[in-house]
């Protein structure tokens, strides 16, 4: 671009010199015409051409009304490479050719013979070369009678070609400017105002071209970067720097920060100080974000290693405190005053133990055994506790998708994530109340909104509040361990850092969106379990089942489903609960051999129990099914058996009879 700029400047200077030369010639021509008019009074044509013989590129000829040359100056002879005898007395058509004479020269001469001064410009082919000629035809008068015309010809081919070259150069420069893959702007050096700006620059900053040309670069530059920018510009003006580069921040039109790599160089003119400079910008916001993530990850790793070492040592001390305090509590009578003191020590030790668990989780040194979990169920369980602790001034809204793929997680840690996020939201709305919204949805991402996760299927948990919000400088620190804005005694500063650590162990991440006074939104991404991992977990479940009986219980009444689960597990069965037919059918189709028996209610949303059973039997014809119903005229024992369902039971369920039926259907599978 600098090379194109230099070429343009050089061509402009040369064109300026040529134009000045033409202006000088025109001035001389005017003086010449004045001299000619004076000489006309003496009717001395030869003296006229002796006067102008020295004019190098001024070709003069006197043509009579018969279109015959009568007088010619030396420049005209040199141009045609003829002697005076070869031109004088010869017709113009003979010299120029019939086509050029009749189309161009004759019409102009006729107008001059009629008393009109004619000016014309035209590309002509002379002696096999294309030349651009400027010709003036002046009527010549003797005794008040026009006897011919003085033809004043100038060859301005070089000027025209120089102008065409300049136009082509400007066209190329404009194409480079507009189509560049980086932002390019021409900026006034003294004012900093944008003079010209390409589309890429506008795209980076978010403003339209007209909006940008009404601004200065100072108005959209982040204040922390402005002084360095201005200092470099001053050095550029003084000639200390030929160009400079820096990383800086612009304010996007939408208010966000945009990082760019800026390179500035002056637009030099020969013999003049630069009045404009060229600014080239490349957006590096994504690179800056990745660098920040790397720095944060390194910092968290270092702090994690330190915290993990401290926590393990602290556990040894706590072991002694808790061990002795427990021994004393067993030995001392409960009514003695010192027993309460020991109890207080023991409770404080328990709180410290919980704190150590959080530190170990943060440091990734407290390994948890993960298993496939249905996140909607865990969230609903946690929200029961959340609702019980929130005041009436806070409204809880939820949008939890029922049909979600399982994740690999620890249920206790999931509860910890929900409780921490909701507790933080409560503290943000504690004074004025507000709305707490919890959403869960499954999404297939090809391009994730966060950059450190691979594409794939994720459960996105969103916790949103309408509280006081989080300022930008605090947002950068909220996932750091022991950082808190709460009062002393209201928080350890480990909550969000622990969540970050847990979710990272799961292969996910957590992000935050917030502005001061506008509430906060946390997004937690959990990768769903792939089919291969699910099969491994199924093998583990099969081998770990105490009696070998794995039962799928389907009931849309959570209380009934839970009590059935408790009852069956007391008899040694491994029980999985689903609250709707869609989830149950999807789970079964993914791995039809992970269950030994189906226990389903008849009245279910979407598919009824009998319809659901038929779908199960299509996938696996040998699966035993028990269908239950409180009352329905549409189903009976006979009808159930005709559909391939082995047993039908009416509610309320007789648990002893249920166990007998299950043992009969499973044969010897429940024997130890």
pLDDT digits (tens, 9 = 90+) for 491-534: 444 567 778 878 888 888 888 888 888 889 999 999 998 644 44
Mean pLDDT within 100-122 = 89
CA dihedral 330, 335, 338, 340 (to 10 degrees): 80
Given a cut of 70, is residue 607 above it in pLDDT? yes
Q: What is the pLDDT of residues 147-161, one digit of tens each?
A: 999 998 888 888 888
Six token digits for residue 513: 């969106």
Residue 43 confidence class, pLDDT cut points 50, 70, 90: very low
pLDDT at 13: 66
* pLDDT attached to residue 259: 92
- What is the per-residue pLDDT for 272? 66
Q: What is the pLDDT of residue 361?
A: 57
Residue 291 phi/psi, 5° resolution?
-65, -40
Highest mean pLDDT among 167-171, 333-337, 540-544, 659-663: 659-663
Res 481 pLDDT > 60 = no
pLDDT band at 383 (very low <50, low <70, confident <90, very high): confident
Predicted pLDDT at 77: 81
Name the CA radius of gyration of the chain, rounded. 47
Average pLDDT over every residue of 621-640: 80
* Digit-coded pLDDT (tens) for 530-569: 644 443 344 333 333 345 589 999 988 787 788 778 778 8
Residue 12 DSSP one-character state: H
pLDDT over threshold 70, residue 356: no
pLDDT of res. 624: 94
- Give residue 672's pLDDT: 38
- The per-residue pLDDT for 7 is 53
509-514 β-sheet, strand order:
394-400, 434-445, 456-465, 520-527, 509-514
What mean pLDDT do residues 171-199 have?
A: 81
Reduced to 3 states (helix: H, G, I; strand: E, B; else coil), residue 16 is helix
pLDDT of residue 430: 85
pLDDT class of 436 with cuts at 50, 70, 90: very high
Q: What is the pLDDT of residue 476?
A: 66
Cα 15 to its chain centre, rounded Å, is 46
Phi, psi of 433 (to 5 degrees): 75, -175
Q: Please, which pLDDT band fits residue 32 given cuts at 50, 70 and 90? A: low
CB neighbour list of residue 40: distance below 8 Å, 6 or more residues apart: 140, 141, 142
pLDDT for residue 113: 92
Tokens of 3: 């090379």
Mean pLDDT over 480-491 rounds to 49
Per DSSP, what are the bridge partners of residue 589? none
Please give the pLDDT value at position 146: 92
Residue range 386-412: mean pLDDT, rounded: 85
CB 71 within 8 A of CB 53: no
How many angstroms separate the Cα of 441 from the Cα of each of 273, 385, 400, 463?
62, 22, 7, 12
Answer yes or no: is pLDDT of 141 > 50.
yes
* Predicted local distance difference test score (pLDDT) of residue 57: 61
Q: pLDDT at position 391, please?
A: 84
Res 313 pLDDT > 70: no
Q: Which residue has the tokens 């024997």?
A: 671
- Give pLDDT, residue 412: 75
User: Which pLDDT score, from 0 to 100, does residue 462 have?
Assistant: 94
* Tokens 């944008």 found at: 194
Looking at per-residue pLDDT, the higher value among 460 and 237 belongs to: 460
CB 557: neighbour CB atoms within 10 A?
A: 13
**What local confidence, expressed as pLDDT, does residue 533 receive?**
40
What's the pTM?
0.37
Percent of the chain at pLDDT exceeding 70: 74
pLDDT surpasses 80 at 29: no
At residue 597, does pLDDT exceed 90?
yes
Q: Which two tokens stand for residue 156?
A: 């301005």
pLDDT of 233 over the 80 cut = yes
DSSP 403: S
Report the alpha-carbon distance of residue 527 to residue 524 in Å, rounded. Answer: 10
Element (H or E) spanning 411, and its range?
helix 411-429
Residues in CB range of 323: below 8 A, 6 or more apart? none
* Neighbouring C-alpha atoms within 13 Å toward the C-beta of 469: 10
What value does the mean pLDDT of the chain take?
Answer: 78
Average pLDDT estimate for 482-489:
48
Q: What does the pLDDT average to over 337-365? A: 69
């Amino acid at each position: 671009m600098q090379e194109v700029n230099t070429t343009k400047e050089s061509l402009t200077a040369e064109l300026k010199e040529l134009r000045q030369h033409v202006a000088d010639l025109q001035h001389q021509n005017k003086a010449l015409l004045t001299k000619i008019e004076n000489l006309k009074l003496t009717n001395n044509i030869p003296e006229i051409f002796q006067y102008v013989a020295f004019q190098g590129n001024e070709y003069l000829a006197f043509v009579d009304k018969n279109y015959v040359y009568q007088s010619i100056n030396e420049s005209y002879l040199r141009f045609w490479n003829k002697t005076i005898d070869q031109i004088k007395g010869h017709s113009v058509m003979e010299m120029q050719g019939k086509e050029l004479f009749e189309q161009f020269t004759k019409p102009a001469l006729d107008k001059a013979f009629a008393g009109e001064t004619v000016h014309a410009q035209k590309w002509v082919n002379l002696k096999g070369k294309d030349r651009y000629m400027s010709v003036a035809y002046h009527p010549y008068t003797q005794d008040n009678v026009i006897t011919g015309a003085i033809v004043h010809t100038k060859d301005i081919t070089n000027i025209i070609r120089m102008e065409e070259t300049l136009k082509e150069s400007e066209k190329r420069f404009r194409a480079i400017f507009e189509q560049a893959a980086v932002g390019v702007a021409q900026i006034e050096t003294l004012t900093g105002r944008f003079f010209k700006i390409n589309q890429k620059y506008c795209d980076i900053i978010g403003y339209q071209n007209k909006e940008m040309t009404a601004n200065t670069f100072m108005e959209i530059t982040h204040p922390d970067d402005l002084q360095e920018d201005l200092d470099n510009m001053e050095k550029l003006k003084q000639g200390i720097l030929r160009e400079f580069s820096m990383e800086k921040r612009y304010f996007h039109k939408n208010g966000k920060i945009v990082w760019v790599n800026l390179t500035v160089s002056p637009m030099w003119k020969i013999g003049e100080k630069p009045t404009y400079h060229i600014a080239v910008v490349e957006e590096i916001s994504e690179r800056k974000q990745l660098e920040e993530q790397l720095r944060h990850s390194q910092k968290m790793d270092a702090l994690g290693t330190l915290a993990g070492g401290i926590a393990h040592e602290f556990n040894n001390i706590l072991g002694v405190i808790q061990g002795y305090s427990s021994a004393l509590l067993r030995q001392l009578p409960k009514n003695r005053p010192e027993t309460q003191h020991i109890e207080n020590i023991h409770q404080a030790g328990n709180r410290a133990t919980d704190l150590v668990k959080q530190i170990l989780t943060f440091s990734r040194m407290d390994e948890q055994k993960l298993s496939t979990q249905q996140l909607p169920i865990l969230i609903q369980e946690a929200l029961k506790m959340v609702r019980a602790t929130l005041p009436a001034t806070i409204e809880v809204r939820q949008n939890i998708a029922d049909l979600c793929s399982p994740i690999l997680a620890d249920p206790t840690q999931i509860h910890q994530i929900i409780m921490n996020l909701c507790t933080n939201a409560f503290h943000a709305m504690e004074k004025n109340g507000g709305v707490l919204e919890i959403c869960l949805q499954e999404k297939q991402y090809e391009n994730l909104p966060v950059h450190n996760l691979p594409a794939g299927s994720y459960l996105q948990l969103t916790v949103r509040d309408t509280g006081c919000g989080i300022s930008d400088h605090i947002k950068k620190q909220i996932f750091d361990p022991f950082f808190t804005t709460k009062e002393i005694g209201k928080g350890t500063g480990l909550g969000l850092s622990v969540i970050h650590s847990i979710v990272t162990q799961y292969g996910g991440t957590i992000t935050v969106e917030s502005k001061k006074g506008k509430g906060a939104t946390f997004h937690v991404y959990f990768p769903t379990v792939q089919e291969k991992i699910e099969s491994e977990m199924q093998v583990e479940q099969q081998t770990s089942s105490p009696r070998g009986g794995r039962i799928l219980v389907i009931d849309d009444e959570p209380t009934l489903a839970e009590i059935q689960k408790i009852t069956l597990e007391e008899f040694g069965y491994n029980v999985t609960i689903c609250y709707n037919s869609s989830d149950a059918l999807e789970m079964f189709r993914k791995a039809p051999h992970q269950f030994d028996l189906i226990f389903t209610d008849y009245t279910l949303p979407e598919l009824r129990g009998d319809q659901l059973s038929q779908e199960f039997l299509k996938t696996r014809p040998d699966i035993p099914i028990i269908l239950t119903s409180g009352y329905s005229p549409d189903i009976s024992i006979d009808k159930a058996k005709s559909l391939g369902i082995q047993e039908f039971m009416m509610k309320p369920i007789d648990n002893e009879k249920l166990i007998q039926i299950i043992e009969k259907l499973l044969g010897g599978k429940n024997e130890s």
